[in-house]
Structure 1
Amino acid sequence: MAMAMARKENFDERGFEVDEERIQRLKAQLLDTPQKLDIQRIEVLMESYRETEGLPHLIRRAKFFEKLMKEKGLYVDESLIVGSMAAFPMGIYAHPEWNIDWMKKDVKAVSHLGDVTISDEDKKLFEEVIAYWDGKTLNDRSNKKFEEMYGFSPLPPQVAGLFYNFTSWPNGAGLANYHKVLTKGVGGIIKDVEERLKALPLSNVDAANEKRVFYEAVHTELRTVIHWAHRYAELAKDMAAKEKNPERVKELLEIAEICEWVPENTPRSFREAVQSLFFTHTALQIEQVGCGTSLGYMGQILEPFYQKDKQAGLITKEEAVYLLKMLFIKFQEMGYYFGQEFQKANSADMGQTISIGGITSDGKDATAELDYLLLDAQIALRNIQPTFALFYHDNLKEDFLSKAVDLVRTGVGQPQFMNTNIMVQRLLDQYRADGITLAEARRGAVAGCVTTAPNGATSHHLEGSHCIAKALEFALNDGKDPLTGQQIGPKTGAAESFATYEDLYEAFREQMQYGTELVRNHGRIGCMMSEEYLPVPLRSSLLDGCIENGKACWAGGAKYSTAVHIICGVVDTANSLAAVKKLVFEDKKLTMGELMKALEANFEGYEKIKKMCLNAPKHGNDDDEMTALVRKVYDDYLVSYYRAGPCYLGKKGKPDAYSKSAHNLHGAVTGALPCGREARRALTDGSVSAMPGSDTNGPTALANSAAQAQDAAAFTSNHLNMKFHPATLEGGAGTRNLLSIVKGYMDKGGSHVQFNCVDSDTLKDAQAHPEKYRDLVVRVAGFSAYFIHLDKGVQDEVIRRTELKFH
């Protein structure tokens, strides 16, 4: 069916045919085309930085962005949606201004779609890059400043796994105000900036000059986005002039007309709105790629354009889903690389989350028709990106929830179910001092993987990922890391010196406080360095408050600001504390010395002790005492977090409780634990998930435990993974059972839950024969990934997760 049969105001929608074979070709291109490093960004970076020495960093970054967008290679493939980060399909960028350590090593590069090819010719440039950036990257500057301020290097604690720094890859996530682009156009935003520039008094010494520099940088980048879109229009016209197929000529000319109009102007059709949003999103990723540039309620902001076209007879549901599929393929194409540690910690996840469902600013169900169509597109494609977050409340329609379960059944681990009520409580508490309203809190959305924030108005600085299990490990080893032998934490006494469980717990709390302060101090320095050296004018222009305040987001210009401080390993810690308490201090089946010998030997030759540790109480079995212990660790962590002070911008902040795949990174450098976990194995995923294989009382028991194991509103996120055999979720009964788990969990205070619907035997076979499973998707943490491209530590952890069934 042709998409358009009539003229629209100032625009002739020429139409297209729904062609599912084209979708399959584009999807195959994703999976079949090898990922390759696009070296052009690095080349332009080097040229631009040499040309702009001495200029303010806001201007340097703007001029670099301008130069890159004017020179970067472009391509138009079969997709009706155009735009890309790289100059060719499946190309990825690297960002040496953050980190060059990986360039110094001859390592295998892996991104979200597999191995990354870096040619020998490209590697020749690395020497020049290293010579220029060594000592000047954000990571180098942050580590040096930390050592100057605190008198010791932050590197040994990082190597030991106490924390993973967030200064070695692009800083910050967030929810840009895409709605502003769709309702004002980039041209309208430029007019606003120009008016503010004209109103500024001339000055070289005060805040007016700082505003002028900011506005000039924003103006440059916004104009550059328009120029970049026009470059696509010219490319499409050039291709049309050479094309022999009249249908393709028509298609290319339509692409050219759309690119000449958006994102500069407000869209005149649904298709233009989709293209405008994608141009904006891609430009943000080009300015600063990184996990966490999420899309908010994308379907709901596109809904008016869809409904207008639909009512005019210009589009059908099938045609809208067709465009959305193309959009999703474009989203999944985006990737990046920052070294092997980054791959272990993040699995190259992009965090392009779309929020669906939820409530309006006046508390009514906000679900749009496009939210249904978004689900339809993902059910058909089964992509790893974008990912979906369904904001659950009791007034959601049954058919919408059933469609969400249909997506779960595909095995892609989407959508994640979020508790709208908890999110509202969380945002009202965190941003009360900044004047947040109930209406704003109701429209909060997922920023990144699972973190929630006010939509379109929140700047996300990053502090680091903190492993709480290391605090217990240090407490058992008098502050030493058992794997490196280095003294990392304070001396709190040898394990054998603890006369009571309370003595051990106090040593653990002291180690936790020390680690929290160290990680947060390093993170605050990283935020400071980001503000000074790597500002983001374009991102700032699309966060409410920055243009109004004349200040970039890293400098506090956004209406709301937070700092992402991730903690993982709490469940491993609580399980280990419970084991020591029971086996050593209550039942006295072991002495502390015997337990420590078993841990030092990684349980080799101590199989009986390992079995005792594994059989000790575990989180996830609806055990009130065990649940209370997990809750106590989380509550005590909050105390240590706030004792460590506010975030870089002086805001209250809240810690984030989730894992990404950092539970694999931290686990790889953590020794054996009293919970029975062996050394160097991935820690427990999420924040309230069960240690793999330890939740033996079924899904309801796990959900009950998880719902009460953490004050979810006190953290910016919460994270529960559950894994079901596909047969368990079949049919109407499977749908009812799963939604019953979700409702029960939410009613009891749970904040987040997501489901893997996959057979463990299939995963094991995929690990052994990856060539047969190139499109097998699993849910890891707040993201989905192709199983065969995951680090083996993550693969093993997903396989070990308990396969739940309804009884």
Structure 2
Amino acid sequence: MTKQKFFYATLVPYYKKDLAEGRITPEKAVELLECMWVAMAQFIDLYVSPTGGAFNEGYAHWEAVTIGGQTPNGNDATNELTYLFLQSKQEFPLNYPDLAARIHARSPERYMHEVALTIKEGSGFPKLINDEEVVPLLLSKGAKFEEAYDYAVSGCSEARMPNRDTFTSGCPYVNFAAAVEMVLHNGKMLLTGDEVIGLETGDPRDFKTWDEFWSAYLAQSTNFLKHAFIQQHVIVNLRPKHFATPLGSALHDLCMENCLDLHTPVIPGGIDMGYFELMGYGTVVDSLAAVKKLVFEDKRITMTELIEALKCNFEGKEAIRQMLLNAPKYGNNDPYVDSIAKEVDREALEFTRKYSKELGVHFDLRLVPFTSHVPFGKVVSASPNGRKAYTPLSDGSSASHGADVNGPTAVLLSNFNSKNYDYRERASRLLNIKFTPSCVVGEEGTQKLASFIRTWCDLRLWHLQFNIVNKETLLKAKKDPDKYRGLIVRVAGYSAYFCDLSPDLQDDIIARTEHSTI
């Protein structure tokens, strides 16, 4: 039974009965919920390896309480406790556990208003998950209506169906920005010198057309996917031979029915929703668009000039960098660059559609980096979108830092325009939006934020989350952390104390575009 169904079917009747008989008040219920937040927040998940810590900064431990959404018969699921949960989070904004609000086309106005009010508190709660995208996708993968309607949020932005969902292995993160660098250096990366890591796709200075460059990029990125899928196939088949999860298996109906451990690759009746991550989406798309526009179409710079500027990290080449920074950018509702984004997305979807069945593991395409876009950027030199060497890549399906200059609605439209809705092999796209507190101030600001969320829902985008904070506040917190220990920010699909984050990740959050109007 999911958290969603548990709270509606079990807690609500008890709450109503106790309320009617005078054993509890709404205020006391909120106090109990706040005690629950405190108890759950006491757990701290410490990563043993530096790599694990870099991928999930801020001590994320992934519990997520789900509110809103729909009941198993498709009715709206908001109720009295929904609003008490939101109130408790407004009054007691600890970094954990997480709060996720499911939104659908018929979500009540009061619910949307209270969700917007909670977001305005500035701690990043709740993150939003879209039933209009998630439910049809779960149905397409074999779920029943009552299962798809009753999903719960898990982790950053995942949707899980307890007792039907069976995939448990961690899955590959693929650094597509590195594929762009390998095209520019014929299979090599500047960080590793003369070692050929990728494919030798030829000297790009000999390419005469954009199609040649695009074909080389597809060869490099497909080579990445090929090795990632082979690696995952080995992991999925080795894992049950060395690890077991008796408690998790005992709590899963299909495992008990079939006498199988939850790590078994195929459990009869189960739905496997494995995934692979496309890392650096905005960085890749903007880089490809810059090469196409400036080198092959407008011929404002040569491939030689571009490569030399990237090799020296733009030292003495600021004029070239400015041209690259001003090339078309994803996140602005620009058909030119959004069409490239859609092709990047489609090629990855086509690969998993073709080879998942052959490997015996179904993989969906996700754009959910946690905080790994920071360490992944540390191996990628300067890129053709004007990004400096070894700095963070773009996160999730968000625009590159500072590239989204046409307002937040344009970011939503670029996400919509770059999705391939005719493929079921897609899953979560994590989307960060940062607003200044002044643009959501007062009742008018609340209404504008609620309308923005409605637009996101209508576009059938999977995930949305907000930071409501001024850049100046973040800069002060980085400089004088002792005065800002309680400052909570939205990182990936979770919130964390800003002063607990590494300087690199702090800079990444500071550099996200700050929208002052909705």
Using structure 2 for the length normalisation, give the TM-score. 0.94
Q: Which entry has the higher C-alpha Rg, 1 or 2?
A: 1
Q: Tell me the residue number matched to 2:387.
A: 677
8 Å CA contact 2:101, 2:128 repeated in 1: yes
Q: Tell me the residue number matched to 1:101.
A: none
8 Å CA contact 2:163, 2:254 repeated in 1: no
Cα-Cα RMSD? 1.8
SS of the residue corresponding to residue 128 of structure 2 reads: strand
Deviations 1:574-606 (A, max 9, x none): 100000011100110111011001111111111
8 Å CA contact 2:283, 2:400 repeated in 1: yes
8 Å CA contact 1:766, 1:788 repeated in 2: yes
Q: Tell me the residue number matched to 1:472.
A: 180
8 Å CA contact 1:562, 1:647 repeated in 2: no
Note closer, same or farther for the CA distance 1:487–1:311 as it changes in structure 2 (3 Å cut).
farther
Match of 1:703 among 412, 421, 426: 412
Give the residue type in structure 1 aligned to 2:246.
Answer: P
Q: Distance in 1 between matches of 2:152 and 2:237?
A: 26
Give the residue type in structure 2 aligned to 1:519.
Answer: A
Note closer, same or farther for the CA distance 1:768–1:740 as it changes in structure 2 (3 Å cut).
same
Note closer, same or farther for the CA distance 1:476–1:698 as it changes in structure 2 (3 Å cut).
same
Q: Distance in 1 between matches of 2:302 and 2:443?
A: 52
Q: Say whether 1:636 aligns with 2:347.
A: yes
SS of the residue corresponding to residue 191 of structure 2 reads: coil
Deviations 1:57-85 (A, max 9, x none): xxxxxxxxxxxxxxxxxxxxxxxxxxxxx
Q: Tell me the residue number matched to 2:64.
A: 353
Q: Distance in 2 between matches of 1:397 and 1:606?
A: 54
Give the residue type in structure 2 aligned to 1:718.
Answer: R
Note closer, same or farther for the CA distance 1:351–1:311 as it changes in structure 2 (3 Å cut).
same
Q: List alignment gaps of at least 5 residues for structure 1.
A: 1-176, 180-294
> Shift in Å at residue 297 of structure 1?
5.5
Q: Distance in 2 between matches of 1:680 and 1:305?
A: 55
Q: Distance in 2 between matches of 1:656 and 1:747?
A: 20
Q: Distance in 2 between matches of 1:350 and 1:450?
A: 13
Q: Tell me the residue number matched to 1:443.
A: 150
Match of 2:36 among 327, 351, 371: 327
Q: Tell me the residue number matched to 2:291.
A: 580
**Taking CA–CA contacts closer than 8 Å with sequence separation of 6 or more, which of the two structures ends up with the larger relative contact order?**
2
Q: Tell me the residue number matched to 1:453.
A: 160
Q: Distance in 1 between matches of 2:169 and 2:22?
A: 45
Give the residue type in structure 1 aligned to 2:511.
Answer: R
Q: Tell me the residue number matched to 1:667.
A: 377
Matches within 5 A, 1:348-497: 348-430=59-141, 432=142, 436-459=143-166, 460-485=168-193, 486-497=195-206
8 Å CA contact 2:105, 2:132 repeated in 1: no
Q: Say whether 1:526 aligns with 2:250.
A: no
8 Å CA contact 1:546, 1:559 repeated in 2: no
8 Å CA contact 2:353, 2:425 repeated in 1: no
Match of 2:365 among 655, 660, 664: 655
Q: Tell me the residue number matched to 1:748.
A: 459
8 Å CA contact 1:723, 1:756 repeated in 2: yes
Deviations 1:368-399 (A, max 9, x none): 32221111111111111111221111222222
Match of 2:496 among 785, 790, 794: 785
8 Å CA contact 2:474, 2:510 repeated in 1: yes
Q: List alignment gaps of at least 5 residues for structure 2.
A: none
Q: Tell me the residue number matched to 1:794.
A: 505
Match of 1:604 among 275, 297, 315: 315
8 Å CA contact 1:451, 1:656 repeated in 2: no
Matched positions, count: 509
Q: Say whether 1:541 aligns with 2:250.
A: yes
Give the residue type in structure 2 aligned to 1:346.
Answer: N
Q: Distance in 2 between matches of 1:488 and 1:639?
A: 24
8 Å CA contact 1:417, 1:753 repeated in 2: yes
Note closer, same or farther for the CA distance 1:711–1:412 as it changes in structure 2 (3 Å cut).
farther
Q: Tell me the residue number matched to 1:339.
A: 49
Q: Distance in 2 between matches of 1:521 and 1:478?
A: 23
SS of the residue corresponding to residue 315 of structure 2 reads: coil
8 Å CA contact 1:462, 1:565 repeated in 2: no
8 Å CA contact 2:18, 2:24 repeated in 1: yes
> Shift in Å at residue 652 of structure 1?
2.9
Q: Distance in 2 between matches of 1:319 and 1:748?
A: 39
Deviations 1:471-505 (A, max 9, x none): 11112221112211232111111221222111111
Q: Distance in 1 between matches of 2:72 and 2:7?
A: 16
SS of the residue corresponding to residue 656 of structure 1 reads: strand
SS of the residue corresponding to residue 263 of structure 2 reads: helix
